[in-house]
Amino acid sequence: MAGGKMKKDKQKGPRAPSNHYQGGVTFHKSKGQHILKNPLLVDAIVQKAGIIPTDTILEIGPGTGNLTKKLLEAGKMVIAVELDPRMVLELQRRFQGTRFSSRLKVIQGDVLKTDLPYFDICVANIPYQISSPLTFKLLFHQPAFRCAIIMFQREFAMRLVAQPGDNLYCRLSVNTQFYARVSHLLKVGKNNFRPPPKVDSSVVRIEPRKPRPEVNHKEWDGFIRICFIRKNKTLGSIFKQKNVLSLLEKNYKTLQALQGSQNVSLSGNDDMEIARLGNESMEMDDGMDDDMDMECDEAEGEGEVSEFKNKVISVLKEGKFEEQRASKLSQESFLTLLSMFNKAGIHFS
């Protein structure tokens, strides 16, 4: 019995590295903890960030500090946001008593629920499950930062940079590129991490547009959400769906009534029915909800075309958008169509 048990323990010994230790800390794949182990890749990320000595850098998910050390060497200060208290302790222990200790501020908490302080540049190797909400939290952060260099799951990164006509072009692509210039920097193989994730990654550069587009973001997202209900169907067929027309007509009639009482507000504070078209806000868009399930029945029979439906179709025809598809439309085209709808009194928020 004893001998057998000792033999079993010995068999477990060689498999210890699968626990993925660094500095005495165990990494958990379930929490998205994949630490960069390739120093050349760490150097490349810092170099691509274009950090200058006066920069305050926001690092999200610093882990045990491999990237943090390089960021401290390059910039003025690093603000590190880390959820795992074990990592926070390891980070503080690593830099305690060094020349960097006074230039590192560690915030323990969920970055999605944390009020972020001022920063010039964001550099992050994040848990991939927070990719979309974090991206939009950063894009709406004020004051605007210079750029963000972020490691994403490769397919998500490709959606961010996809162009009209690309297979991966989606609502995420349109919304992100509306508020920022996005570029792909590096492809990163899974073996550059400890423990290795199941998929390859990519490093993306995000530069917020300055000034920000002067468009109500709820209005914009409500409009884009409808256009991408079926991204490969024509806009004419999408806007003829009876539930789309019904929701838009409710918005239209509500705004008409408000205008009649001189209390109209298009600031996005009024909760319109259009929100029912999706269960997630733009900030939660992961680009995977294209072709969402919606009723495709048209609003009326051939002999019963409503006045409001005619109004919607006339806008599409006037701009020659009736036979266009969202999967191939540019930012400028979306903006043009939204402006035309708004001028006709049709709103999406």
Q: Is the N-terminal amide bond of 85 cis, ω within 30° of 0? A: no
Tokens 């952060």, residue located: 141
Distance (Å, rounded) from C-alpha 190 to C-alpha 170?
25
Provide the β-strand partners of residue 205.
149, 183
Can you say which residues are annotated as belonging to the binding site for S-adenosyl-L-methionine? 34, 36, 61, 82, 110, 125
Q: Which two tokens stand for residue 302?
A: 């051939």
Residue 44: its H or E element: helix 39-49
Angle at Cα 56 formed by Cα 107 and Cα 206, nearest 5°?
Answer: 95
**Cβ-contact 35, 22 below 8 angstroms:** yes
Among candidates 23, 204, 52, 180, which has minimal Cα distance to 125?
Answer: 204
**Cβ-contact 133, 112 below 8 angstroms:** yes
Strand segments, DSSP code E, in 189-323 are 193-194, 201-208
Angle at Cα 278 formed by Cα 274 and Cα 279, nearest 5°?
Answer: 120
